[in-house]
Amino acid sequence: MLSVKKLTFSYNKSPVLNNISFQVKPGEHLAIIGESGSGKSTLLKVLYGEYDLDEGHVFWKDQEVLGPKFNLVVGYDFMKYVAQEFDLMPFISVEENIGKFLSNFYPEEKKARTAELLEVVELTAFAKTKVKILSGGQKQRVALARALAKQPEIMLLDEPFSHIDNFKKQSLRRNVFKYLKAKNISCVVATHDKEDVLGFADKMIVLNQQQIVENNTPEHLFKNPKTPLVASFFGEFNLINNTLVYAHQLKVVNHSELKATVKTSYFKGHFYLIEAELNGKPVLFEYDKALASSEVVCLSVVK
Ligand code: ADP
Ligand code: MG
């Protein structure tokens, strides 16, 4: 398994990660979440051995992952990393990029493997297309497939679906995570998108101010958010009597002490998000219809 022990890292004295420890078991999926600039990408790069640590250790099984000072060629066969900025070979085709690191010694297997991965990332129709003319999202899918080509034991993915449009994103995400689970490949995903976490990640780490502030299952953290940071990751929320309450946990009832004056209704698909005022402070709740501005409604917390 991946063992991260008391890892501390800074870029030229400005600290980014401080005393980080966690583990990822074979086949387990871990999400790393945090605000922009919280160090998610840095953590993945450090796990990959791109930088030397100030302190601490990273192990995959018995092998220590070493930085450039001790390991001249960055990276190991058991681990693949898909960066936020992916570097592909622009002048060769999608299938050539995916198969680039596969041996030509077994042409039939290479062909089958490439075809399988093209299906996972839904690019079969683009097999012969030069990467140069692909969109950002399509390039991201090629980078994912290429990283999977040699069947790593662990994948490090940095915002892996961020460039992919909503039409493709949902099914692609399911394909990729299902594939990783089926092959028992461990996975560490840096993301700020709850859709990359819910339903897929076994565990979730929250980074804030250089440290891990939470390490638990997504379900536990969703149901028991202790800080606005965690709650805001999952959705709109309110602080009512010092308790974090998601917008969907505030219901309109016939009578209650909580009387809110409606300001704005936002159409959200299967519900409306209502912005209102409660005791002089803004409050957000969900309702199945739009409400008229200045209408007064009674609210109740239903958890
Ligand atoms: P995230 O991926 O969570 O947005 P990053 O890991 O990219 O965060 O960045 C964490 C912090 O490290 C930020 O303050 C960022 O400005 C800084 N940083 C990132 N890369 C470098 C670098 N190559 N040199 C110096 N500082 C960097
Ligand atoms: Mg990043």
Per domain, the residue ranges of the chain are 2-223, 236-301
Strand partners, 245: 238
- Whether 25 shows a pLDDT value over 90: the answer reads yes
Give yes or no for residue 16 CB within 6 A of ligand 1.
yes
Residue 13 identity (one-letter amino acid): K
Query: Could you tell me the pLDDT band of residue 159, with boundaries at 50, 70 and 90?
Result: very high
Atom of ligand 1 nearest to the CA of 190: 2
211 CA distance to ligand 1 middle (Å): 14
Find the angle CA(63)-CA(68)-CA(69) to the nearest 5 degrees: 95
Computed over every residue of the chain, the mean pLDDT equals 95
Query: Could you tell me the pLDDT band of residue 6, with boundaries at 50, 70 and 90?
Result: very high
> Which pLDDT does position 166 carry in this prediction?
87
Q: Do domains 2-223 and 236-301 have the same CATH topology?
A: no
Q: Are strands 55-60 and 2-11 parallel, antiparallel or unpaired?
A: antiparallel
Give yes or no for residue 191 CB within 6 A of ligand 1.
no
CB 230 within 8 A of CB 224: no
- Whether 116 shows a pLDDT value over 90: the answer reads yes
Which of 91-95, 103-107, 109-113, 246-250 has the weakest average pLDDT? 103-107
Cα diameter, the chain:
75
Give the ligand at the shortest distance from the Cα of 33: 1
42 CA distance to ligand 1 middle (Å): 6
Give yes or no for residue 34 CB within 6 A of ligand 1.
yes
Mean pLDDT for the stretch of residues 216-226:
97
Domain covering 236-301, topology: OB fold (Dihydrolipoamide Acetyltransferase, E2P) (2.40.50)
- Whether 167 shows a pLDDT value over 90: the answer reads no
Give yes or no for residue 13 CB within 6 A of ligand 1.
no
> Which pLDDT does position 73 carry in this prediction?
85
Give yes or no for residue 40 CB within 6 A of ligand 1.
yes
Atom of ligand 1 nearest to the CA of 84: 2
- Whether 270 shows a pLDDT value over 90: the answer reads yes
C-alpha closest to that of 20 among 64, 68, 56, 62: 56
Atom of ligand 1 nearest to the CA of 36: 4
Query: Could you tell me the pLDDT band of residue 13, with boundaries at 50, 70 and 90?
Result: confident
- Whether 155 shows a pLDDT value over 90: the answer reads yes
Atom of ligand 1 nearest to the CA of 43: 6
Give yes or no for residue 46 CB within 6 A of ligand 1.
no
82 CA distance to ligand 2 middle (Å): 12
Give yes or no for residue 38 CB within 6 A of ligand 1.
yes
- Whether 72 shows a pLDDT value over 90: the answer reads no
Give yes or no for residue 49 CB within 6 A of ligand 1.
no
The helix or strand, by DSSP H or E, that contains position 24, with its residue range, turns out to be strand 14-24
- Whether 86 shows a pLDDT value over 90: the answer reads no
Residue 252 to residue 282: CA distance in whole angstroms: 16
- Whether 105 shows a pLDDT value over 90: the answer reads no
Pick the CATH number of 2-223 from 3.40.640.10, 3.20.10.10, 3.40.50.720, 3.40.50.300: 3.40.50.300
16 CA distance to ligand 1 middle (Å): 7
Among protein residues, the one with the nearest Cα to ligand 1's atom 15 is 37
Atom of ligand 1 nearest to the CA of 34: 3
Mean pLDDT for the stretch of residues 289-295:
97
- Whether 211 shows a pLDDT value over 90: the answer reads yes
Residue 287 to residue 272: CA distance in whole angstroms: 5
